[in-house]
């Protein structure tokens, strides 16, 4: 039986993070960060490291982290979703910390993550591969001093503001993961903003020389697990996004009046908001199961994560569309927060694999089992 009760420490973590973000990343401040030239807030990032220490949730005590687990991180990600954080937390504190934490002798890198000095972008997707997590055209070959990296990656979230890239590439037909410093000769970025207020880039690697220790992991399972954990935490973020959309919709319908009364009293609209609430409850159960299955056998973990992503993607679309519709014309303006939450929910639907891709993955895993 799974236990869904949060500990006192987890509740305190949630409350501390919620209060800090309310003071430092309210909707106007978040919008200003997203629209700034850099696309993020360095002061907020430093605050997450120095004031809260949450960049090290998954980092071991020996490297200066909190030594937390996946449930601790789930609590954090839900709060970050409720506040539409544009800083690269998932890419750095989840993907970067997990990848480097699995390798001996990486304490210096992990300490850089904990302190906020390292910001990671995960370069895994390639053009025309339809969410395939394994590298195709990106290749790493041995040299006398280390490795030579060639290839290209598409839509690398946080690449324009990253200090390091985690790059997937083939080594003798075996998938591998490399940590590459930003600014290394041979790396080119074509940066652009995303519809949800973040920054991304298409990247190319042309004879990029990297040292031997740049190799972080080798084998498909290492990359699959990294992507599964990231997908599960993305689901937790989605819970925060969807809860705010529902709360804002309820508040708006209580204020908006037609025929002399608040539209929240109309039964048909009440039914729609109840349906939105039920979608969140279904998604919550799926996220909890996925997070609690992250340490299970690979097939069980993968099935739980794919089932969750299908459920969360459907909930994001249903809640987002209804939130916009119930806000009426106001829901289409940049001045209303629900618009920005809807954009983030729309991106989450297909990030790390669309619902259709995860359905096919789940079906394939089930047949194999």
Rounded to 5 degrees, what are φ and ψ at 205? -125, 115
pLDDT digits (tens, 9 = 90+) for 264-296: 999 999 999 999 999 999 999 999 999 999 999
Maximum pairwise Cα distance, the chain:
79
pLDDT digits (tens, 9 = 90+) for 166-207: 999 999 989 999 999 999 999 999 999 999 999 999 999 999
Residues 158 and 91 sit within 8 Å (Cβ to Cβ): yes
Taking the C-alpha atoms of residue 229 and residue 314, their distance in angstroms, rounded to an integer, is: 20
pLDDT of residue 3: 64
3-state secondary structure the chain: CCCCCCCHHHHHHHHHHHHHHHHHCCHHHHHHHHHCCCCCCHHHHHHHHHHHCHHHCCCCHHHCCCCCCHHHHHHHHHHHHHCCCCCCHHHHHHHHHHHHHCCCCCHHHHHHHHHCCCCEEEECCCCCCCCCCCCCCCEEEECCCEEEEEEEEEEEECHHHCCEEEEEEEECCEEEEEEEECCCCCEEEEEEECCCCCEEEEEEEEEEEEEHHHEEEECHHHHHHHHHHHHHHHHHHHHHHHHHHHHHHHHHHHHCEECCEEHHHCHHHHHHHHHHHHHHHHHHHHHHHHHHCCCCCHHHHHHHHHHHHHHHHHHHHHHHHHHHHHHHHHHHCCCCHHHHHHHHHHHHHHCCCCHHHHHHHHHHHHHHC
pLDDT digits (tens, 9 = 90+) for 292-334: 999 999 999 999 999 999 999 999 999 999 999 999 988 888 8
Prediction pTM value: 0.96
pLDDT of residue 368: 82
pLDDT of residue 83: 97
Which residues make Cβ contacts (< 8 Å) with residue 234, sequence separation at least 6?
Answer: 77, 90, 312, 348, 351, 352
pLDDT digits (tens, 9 = 90+) for 331-359: 888 889 999 999 999 999 999 999 999 99
Taking the C-alpha atoms of residue 206 and residue 187, their distance in angstroms, rounded to an integer, is: 7
In percent, the amount of the chain with pLDDT more than 70 equals: 99
pLDDT digits (tens, 9 = 90+) for 49-66: 999 999 999 999 999 999
In percent, the amount of the chain with pLDDT more than 90 equals: 94
Give the mean pLDDT of the chain.
96
The pLDDT confidence band at residue 2, using thresholds 50, 70 and 90, is low
Taking alpha carbons only, the member of 89, 90, 20 closest to residue 52 is: 20
Taking the C-alpha atoms of residue 169 and residue 92, their distance in angstroms, rounded to an integer, is: 19
Q: Does the pLDDT of residue 369 top 80, yes or no? A: no
pLDDT of residue 332: 84
Compute and round to an integer the Cα radius of gyration of the chain: 21
pLDDT digits (tens, 9 = 90+) for 227-248: 999 999 999 999 999 999 999 9
By the 10 Å C-beta count (0-12 exposed, 13-18 middle, 19+ buried), 46 is classed as middle
Taking the C-alpha atoms of residue 193 and residue 237, their distance in angstroms, rounded to an integer, is: 20
pLDDT of residue 1: 57
pLDDT digits (tens, 9 = 90+) for 132-148: 999 999 999 999 999 99
Q: Cα 187 to chain center, whole Å?
A: 24
pLDDT of residue 161: 97
Q: Does the pLDDT of residue 361 top 70, yes or no? A: yes
**Averaged pLDDT for residues 29-42:** 94
pLDDT of residue 329: 85
Strands 164-171 and 120-123: parallel
**Averaged pLDDT for residues 18-30:** 95
pLDDT of residue 4: 75
pLDDT of residue 5: 85
């Amino acid at each position: 039986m799974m236990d869904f009760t949060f500990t006192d420490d987890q509740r305190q973590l949630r409350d501390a993070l919620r209060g800090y973000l309310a003071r430092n990343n309210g909707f106007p401040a978040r919008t200003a960060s997203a629209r700034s030239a850099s696309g993020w807030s360095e002061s907020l990032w430093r605050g997450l490291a120095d004031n809260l220490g949450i960049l090290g949730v998954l980092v071991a005590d020996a490297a200066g982290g909190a030594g937390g687990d996946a449930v601790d991180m789930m609590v954090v990600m839900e709060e970050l979703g409720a506040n539409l954080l544009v800083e690269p937390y998932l890419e750095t504190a989840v993907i970067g910390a997990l990848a480097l934490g699995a390798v001996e002798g990486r304490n210096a890198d992990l300490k850089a993550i904990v302190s906020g000095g390292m910001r990671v972008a995960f370069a895994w997707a390639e053009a025309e591969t339809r969410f395939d997590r394994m590298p195709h055209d990106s290749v790493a070959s041995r040299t006398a001093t280390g490795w030579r990296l060639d290839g290209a990656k598409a839509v690398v979230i946080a690449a324009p503001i990253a200090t390091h890239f985690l790059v997937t590439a083939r080594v003798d037909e075996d998938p591998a993961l490399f940590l590459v410093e930003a600014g290394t000769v041979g790396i080119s970025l074509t940066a652009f903003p995303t519809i949800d207020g973040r920054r991304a880039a298409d990247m190319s690697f042309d004879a990029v020389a990297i040292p031997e220790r740049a190799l972080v992991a080798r084998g498909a399972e290492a990359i699959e697990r990294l992507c599964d954990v990231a997908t599960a935490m993305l689901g937790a973020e989605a819970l925060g996004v969807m809860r705010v959309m529902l709360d804002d919709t309820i508040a708006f319908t209580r204020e908006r009046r037609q025929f002399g009364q608040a539209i929240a009293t109309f039964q048909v609209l009440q039914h729609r908001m109840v349906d939105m609430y039920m979608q969140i409850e279904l998604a919550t159960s799926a996220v909890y199961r996925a997070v609690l299955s992250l340490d299970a056998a690979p097939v069980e973990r993968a099935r739980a994560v794919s089932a969750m992503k299908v459920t969360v993607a459907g909930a994001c679309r249903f809640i987002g569309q209804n939130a916009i519709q119930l806000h009426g014309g106001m829901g289409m303006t940049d001045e209303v927060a629900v618009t920005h939450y809807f954009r983030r929910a729309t991106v989450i639907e297909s990030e790390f694999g669309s619902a259709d891709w995860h359905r096919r993955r789940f079906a394939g895993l089930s047949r194999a089992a």
